[in-house]
Each structure stands twice: as structure tokens, then as C-alpha cells.
Amino acid sequence: MLDEFRIYLELGFRHIADLAGYDHILFVTALAIPFGIRDWRRLAILVTAFTVGHSITLALATLRLVSVSSPLVETLIPATILLTALGAYTAATPQRPENPVTLSRYGMALFFGLIHGLGFSTYLRALLGNEASIASPLLAFNIGLELGQLVILGVVLTMGAALVPAILPRRRWIQFLVGVTGGLALMLLVQRLGDWS
């Protein structure tokens, strides 16, 4: 039982941190853009809202209670990254330097988590195969995802703390992250829209 839990925990962690599936890394990075290292608690709660969202649809889709076209989900995922990056840029204005986490940002993270959960579900369904009970594997996988997201946040926040303001002004760091996450998300979106034709 503990071995199975550990296996799914590691699979969840590796799935979120896998560079081949960098869309997950981009989304978590986009969420982190407006925040500094001192905001890590608020940001961790924001990412947990995303986890709650994807846990819901991951469970529903794995149990085959919800089914959405895979090409549609794969197209929506880069759209959520792009919107999150653009939202982070507008949130980090000079007039709002502290960038508080608002209720709407929690709602956005939760809603986008629902979409990302549908993307995870195909992978998890293939892993679970004919498991008699999915509760423990599903819980372990989600905990692994959450841990992976927290590691990504730690890397982004640490890099920001090392660079801002010693090397880069905060605004330039934000512009850089928005450019990277938004640009890659736009490329993914165009590519996935092209797959429809």
C-alpha cells in the first residue's frame, strides 16, 4: 500500500516537473510572475487553488464521469498560460507594487486548474489501468503534483530574489518572465490550433 502510494506520488511529481511537458511548468511560472520571495505563502495558497481545481476534474475524468475532447483541452491549456501571463503583467503595475492576491485570482487559478486537470486525466487513466480503487493513487498523484509545483515556485522565486534588484529592476524581471511564458504559450497555442486543420 505504501509502495503504491510512493509510486504515484513520484509519478505526479515527475509529471509536473517534466521538461517534455513544459506547459505545466509555464503555467506555474506565470502564476508566480508578480510575486516576490516574501510573498511565498500567498503564492503557495494560490497554487493550491489551482491544485484543487485540477484535482476535481482529474478525479471526475479518471472515473469517466466527465469527458472532454482531448484536442480542445490541449488547445485551452496554452490559452490559460497566455491569459495568466498577461494578467500577471497588468497586476504588477507601479500603482500596485504589492500585488495582493485577490479573490478573482484565486477563482482564475481554480478555474484554470479545472482545465489542466482534464489534460492530466488521459495520462493518469493510462497509469491506473484496471486498479480496483483509484482513491489512494489519485491522492498520491495530486500530492506529487502539488510538491512539484512548489519546487517550481521555489526556483522562480529564488531566481527573482537573486536577480532583483541587484541585477535587474523588478519591472524588467516581470517583463522577461511574461515574455518567456507568454511567448512560449502563444507558440503552443498556434501549434495546437494548427493541429485542428
What confidence tens digit (pLDDT) does each residue in 75-117 have? 999 999 999 999 888 766 555 545 555 778 889 999 999 999 9
Q: Is 69 left (phi over 0), alpha (psi -120 to 50) or beta?
A: beta
Taking residues 165-169, report their average pLDDT.
90
Taking residues 176-195, report their average pLDDT.
95
Q: Which of 93-97, 129-133, 180-184 reaches the highest mean pLDDT?
A: 180-184
* CA separation for the pair 77, 99 (Å, rounded): 24
* Residues with Cβ within 8 Å of residue 187, at least 6 apart in sequence: none
pLDDT of residue 99: 52
pLDDT of residue 101: 59
Provide the percentage of residues in the chain whose pLDDT is more than 70: 91
SS3 assignment, position 196: coil
